[in-house]
Amino acid sequence: MNEYIKINPVGGSGGSIAPNSITGNDITLGSFATGSLTVVDYTNLIGTYIVLGPYYLNEGVEWTAATDNDTTALSIANAINIYPNLSAQVTAVANANVIALTALVKSEYLNFAFDPGQMPAPYMTWVDMTGGVGDFTFPGYITGNYLGITLPVYAEQGPIGPTIKFVGIDPNYTQGIYSNGTELCFSVQLTEIGKFINSPNTDESSLFIAEGYGGGLWQVVMGANDSGGTGYRMLRILNK
């Protein structure tokens, strides 16, 4: 998804954010923890218990080991889905003898490992609850009384959580990091101070740097072989 975030520091040195209004589409990131339980031999689960975080579910009280593995798995799933407090945090779905567990809240606090000492192994196996990441939201635009920092954002869910890349298109070249498709540019207070281009010519680098503040950008080029000493080329910028 592609959105824009506009942040307005309070005062010249930044600090806290005092938005006057929020518009545009929000970006909300986060993920639900998942895990599973598998009934291997229901006949040996009679009189046992299973533990999910701080919650103890006893066979013969909250659930019943009876008939076959599939029926027992369904009984356990039903118990989880009505157990006080637990049912507000985790939902369970039985498919044959496997119980899929999914957190109902996006939070790292619902990632937990089952304690083998508190589980009826080997008659039940499990996969620990993992992958939970708490929600955090970036608003489309925050506007205020001071100079805005416009950071177009590409947000994606990575393998270990959300990844935020402050790269996008800022046609106003106001302040921040932006790209027009062929250049990656850097600006501070309405002044472009550097950029990289993706197609430099022979003996040119992709880097442009500022000369002074507001003095324009100059491309860094490469000198002749050994111009920077044996085996090295000097980096140069053109005369004014």
pLDDT of residue 138: 52
Segment among 33-42, 60-69, 163-172, 229-238 with least mean pLDDT? 163-172
* Pairwise CA distance, residues 94 & 73, whole Å: 6
CA end-to-end distance (rounded Å), the chain: 43
With residue 155 as reference, give the H or E element that holds it: strand 149-158
Mean local confidence (pLDDT), 135-151: 44
Q: What number of residues does the chain have?
A: 240
* Pairwise CA distance, residues 37 & 15, whole Å: 48
Mean local confidence (pLDDT), 209-216: 72
pLDDT of residue 26: 53
Going from the C-alpha of 203 to that of each of 28, 165, 187, 228, 237, the distances in angstroms are 45, 30, 26, 14, 12
Mean local confidence (pLDDT), 40-56: 93
For the chain, what are the domain ranges? Answer: 2-26+138-236, 33-131
pTM of the model: 0.51
